[in-house]
Each structure stands twice: as C-alpha cells, then as structure tokens.
Amino acid sequence: MDLNGDGFNDILSGCYSQSGHSAMVGSYWVLYGDKEGKFAKPVELMGTDGKLLQVVHDLKGSAGDRLTQNICSRPFAVDWNGNGHLDIVAGNFEGSFFVFTGEGKGKFAPKAAQLMDTEGKALKISGVHSDPFIIDWDNDGDLDLLTGSSDGNIYWAENVRSRDEKVTGADRTPELTALKLLIKAPAASKDARAPSYGLRIWAADITGDGKLDILVGDTFHGGGGMRTDLTAEEKAAYEKADADYQLVMKDYQAAQKPYNDAYQAALKEAREKAGDKELSQDQLRAIYKEHVTDKMAKDEKVQAALTRMRETSAALNKFRTPAVSGGNLWVYEQK
C-alpha cells in the first residue's frame, strides 16, 4: 500500500519486540518505496506526538494486558472510517484489535481505539495472535473483518452498518458483529495435511472464479520426544536421564533464585531513581551483569548445576527424535 501518499508502494510490518527499549514493545515498521521499485531501510512509525506508535505507552513492569496488547503487532492499513486517509487496524498477542486513526501522508494519531462489537464488547478471538484482514467478505459493499488465530480457527466480524446512511464526508466507521467462526480448525493430524497453529491469512480470488478464497500460512513444531523404537533398556536409560534432569533443574533454579531476587530489587531501585525516564538497554544489561551474570559465574554450586544440566541433556538427546519446526501454505477455496 502507499502509506505516505507519495505515489509509491510501501511495506508495513508489525513486530514482536525489539532492542533499544527497557520493556518489550510491539511497534510498527515501514519500508518506504521509491519510483524504481526499491525500498528504504525500515523505520519505526511515530505518532503525531513524536512518540513511538503503540497501543499502550506506559509499560513499566510489563505486566498483564498492557504488554499483550502491544507485542506481536499485526497491522493492516485501510481507510477504516471512510475519510480518505489510511488508518491502521492492528492485532496483537492478546487477540484483540485496535485502530490508529490516519491523518494523511503516513501520519497517525497516537491514541489507539479498541474495536468493539455492536453490543459494546471488545472484539477478541478465542486464541491469541489476532490477525486482522479487512475486506468486503460478504460482497455487500462494505468492509468486514477477517482474522486468523493461534488455535487454527478463522473468524469474521460482519459490518452491519446500513448502506443507506447519508452521504459525503460522513463517518463511515464499520459497525461489527461479534466474531463468528468462519472456518473451524481441522482436527490435528500427524501428516500435516491441514493448517494447524498460528494462522496468518490473506483473502483474494486465488482460483479466478469470482469468489474470495483464503490463503493461510501456519506454524508447526514437532519432535523432541522419546523415540518409539527404543529397546526396554534404552527406555529405562531415557527415563532415568529425564528424572536426573528434572532434579538438577530444581537445584539450578534454587541456586539461581537469590541472584534473580537481587536483580529485581536493584531494578526496582534504579527505576525509582529514574522516575519517568526509561532505563536504557545498556543500563539494564549492566544491572543484570552486576547482580546475576558476574556473581553466578563465581558460584561453584551454580556452575556445578549447569554442568550436570548439560550432561543430562546430552544423555536425553540420544533417545529423542530430532526437533523440527517450520510452516506451510494452504488455500481454502470458497464454494
């Protein structure tokens, strides 16, 4: 899409988080295009207040909804309110949706508004990782919302705003029903013959029959468990190594706890001294190094536990299947 209105296509992306901040943030990045079809280096979008464009600005402590509404940001640029400027409809880890109002030429108001349904309830998928795709799904002339989900389901919210409303210059913000299940996640299969987890969707007439289809990307993870071809002797060795690993993990966590507690106390003190000023990554790393890394390196009990963890993990790996992960591309054809 042409985000800044200069006549050239740009690339808009969300992110999970990034370095340079004291807490995890899910910001929005853009690669601006030029007349030669090339793209500039990615830059973070800022609001019209000059601050980072994000759903929640106060992330001190990174707790609860304030964090999950930001991270895993998934933007979709569209003229949501019908005023001629591109807005950003954004998904997140929480599974909810927010809108940043566009002010033209790639500028966006800093305050995000949460999308609500016609009953005043927040739109939210049953899983996490909301994935907004805005399109006229039911072919009635207005914008609806489709979304993938971490649970493998695909949902849609129908725009029920009357098309008879008058007229030029009026606010055309969609009025959405609660999310409805559009495509149920197929039953899990060992041979990966259906989309499974962490869906990202795109709607288009892929088959050329005049009907919108849904292109789906997913994620899969497998392996890492006990092999099924082990002899009785090997299975017993695996179970012993697994029990040993669980014990040494408890020992390591107990030995590490005093240092983590000291770090949290030092971090709290540093933040109180800083007041409203955000701690830099360098400051955070220095505090962690002083109270955790350096001291644990000299603690013989901690180092002994780490050595035993490596040894028991290596013993377990002899009896495990290889860990694999990746993704597939699927198409749901509309009939």
Q: Which residues pair with 174 in a beta bridge?
A: none
Say what the pLDDT of residue 279 is: 75
25 and 59 Cβ atoms separated by less than 8 Å? yes
Q: What is the pTM of this model?
A: 0.77
Q: How confident is the model at residue 77 (pLDDT cuts 50, 70, 90)?
A: very high
Q: Is the pLDDT of residue 277 over 90?
A: no
Say what the pLDDT of residue 215 is: 95
**Counting Cβ atoms within 10 Å, is residue 21 exposed (0-12), middle (13-18) or buried (19+)?**
middle
Say what the pLDDT of residue 194 is: 73
Per-residue pLDDT, averaged over 121-127, amounts to: 94
Angle at CA of residue 132, ends 131 and 134, nearest 5°: 150
Q: Which pair of tokens denotes residue 196? A: 């499974």
43 and 29 Cβ atoms separated by less than 8 Å? yes
65: closest CA among 12, 114, 13, 121? 114
Residue corresponding to tokens 């807490």: 23
Say what the pLDDT of residue 172 is: 83
C-alpha 141: how far from chain center:
31
Residue corresponding to tokens 């789906």: 216
Say what the pLDDT of residue 271 is: 83
C-alpha 87: how far from chain center:
20
pLDDT in tens, 285-332: 899 999 999 999 999 999 999 999 999 999 999 999 998 888 889 999
**Across the chain, what does the average pLDDT equal?**
89
Phi/psi at 161 (nearest 5 deg)?
A: -65, 135
Q: Which pair of tokens denotes residue 140? A: 């009635």
pLDDT in tens, 45-59: 999 999 889 998 766
Q: How confident is the model at residue 167 (pLDDT cuts 50, 70, 90)?
A: very low
Per cent of the chain over pLDDT 90 is 69
83: closest CA among 195, 203, 168? 168
